[in-house]
Structure 1
Amino acid sequence: MRQDRANEDRRDTAAGVRDFFTPRAADWDSRFADDGPAYAAAVTALGLRTGDAVLDAGCGTGRALPALRAAVGPRGTVLGFDLTPAMLTAAVRAGRDRDGTLALADVARLPLRDGCLDAVFAAGLISHLTDPEDGLSELARAVRPGGTFALFHPVGRAALAARHGRALTPDDLRAEPNLRPLLARCGWRLDTYTDEDTRFLAVSVRQG
């Protein structure tokens, strides 16, 4: 029964994510046209090397894919997974399928073998996970020990809350006192944490 309920919750969350992003996909890039440099800087923090394999989890329109491809080079592997077909269509329309392989996939149930990735990049992902601990553990499963994981947003927590007309609350998962133990339970060690008006970036290392 518990597993059936979890599957039902996952389906409901996936449907909610699609309902939110589908009508916004066509003009998503134009609404956030100035975010490119922030994405590139966040990708740099992953410490990628030529030939590495990296996943953009919840890639949306694929804004991180060009920077990820530049970091791993032509011999590297760049994957972009997202739940919303319309966002992937927008990524193809923008030509970002040239920088990585796009797929409709749930990051909480990755179609990847254990330890096959060197890194994961995730912009705005954590708030869209049905069960954050389950999702972050699944990402850890697919990353080799010593690999890296970047949780990113082009504005900080306070700026994002203000944009949506709400106040920060103590239970915010991205607050460092909450995020650090959550990541640790999922196989990650939080290495660096930045939360300022111009960006949010938490970089973690996969534990053995």
Structure 2
Amino acid sequence: MSDNHTHVQEFFGARAAGWDSKFPDDGPAYASAVADLGLRSGDRVLDAGCGTGRALPPLRAAVGPSGVVVGVDLTPAMLEAAVQAGRDHDGHLLLADVAALPLRTESLDAVFGAGLISHLHRPAENLRELARVVRPGGTLALFHPIGRAALAARQGRQITPDDLRAEDNLRPMLAGSGWRMTSYVDEDARFLALAVREG
């Protein structure tokens, strides 16, 4: 396991137990972002870096009982918190790295990633791996319940020009990884970039 993996596991492992109580009001924002993903009944969707599984209930509601919902996370404590919250009923939980997904090529219709981009070790490569498991025409949502400026303020830092989530950085990175960005919203109350898997 790389140093980055260890760092990510330590960071989120230490915070897993109190994660949901720290951000109790994010539910509607998750549901709204999932709605924008345009899922249909029977679709197969991955929650990449699912954490405590907050997106799993709205994803399950969107794809219905015939759909498939998979949540992947690198941190055991996060998945344990998801199980304790009962969210394993909404999706299959897998302990895995988004850099090497245990999923078949083109087996999914969509990927949802909340707060994912800033924790990717090799973003372009990792986005390419997400593209691998999605069929052509499938969709990707990169989401955060608050925008870049609000998040930076919360963390006591400034946004820098090299921020991966800046539109001018994210659009070409997605394009080079098999995705075409279709919309980009960065407001105080939400960050949401949507993309389509190129054929």
TM bucket normalised to smaller: over 0.9
1-side partners of 2:36 and 2:138: how far apart?
A: 12
1-side partners of 2:71 and 2:60: how far apart?
A: 11
Answering whether residue 123 of structure 2 is matched by residue 123 of structure 1, we say no
Answering whether residue 159 of structure 2 is matched by residue 168 of structure 1, we say yes
Answering whether residue 147 of structure 2 is matched by residue 156 of structure 1, we say yes
1-side partners of 2:141 and 2:2: how far apart?
A: 26
2-side partners of 1:111 and 1:23: how far apart?
A: 26
1-side partners of 2:5 and 2:35: how far apart?
A: 30
1:146 aligned partner, one-letter code: G
Match of 1:5 in 2: none
1-side partners of 2:39 and 2:189: how far apart?
A: 23
| 1:1-208 matches, cutoff 5 A | 11-208=2-199
Q: Structure 2, unaligned stretches of length 5 or more?
A: none
2-side partners of 1:43 and 1:54: how far apart?
A: 11
TM-score by length of 2: 0.99
Deviations for 1:2-44, whole angstroms, at most 9, x for unmatched residues? xxxxxxxx61111100010111100100000000000000001
Q: Structure 1, unaligned stretches of length 5 or more?
A: 1-9
Aligned residue for 2:31, secondary structure, equals: helix
Deviations for 1:76-106, whole angstroms, at most 9, x for unmatched residues? 0000000000000000000000000001000
Deviations for 1:35-87, whole angstroms, at most 9, x for unmatched residues? 00000000011110000000000000000000000000001000000000000
2-side partners of 1:96 and 1:102: how far apart?
A: 9
1-side partners of 2:107 and 2:3: how far apart?
A: 29
Higher helix residue share: 1
Deviations for 1:107-159, whole angstroms, at most 9, x for unmatched residues? 11000111000000000111111100110000000000000000000000000
2:137 aligned partner, one-letter code: G
**Aligned residue pairs, count:** 199
1:162 is displaced (CA, Å) by 0.4
2-side partners of 1:129 and 1:28: how far apart?
A: 19
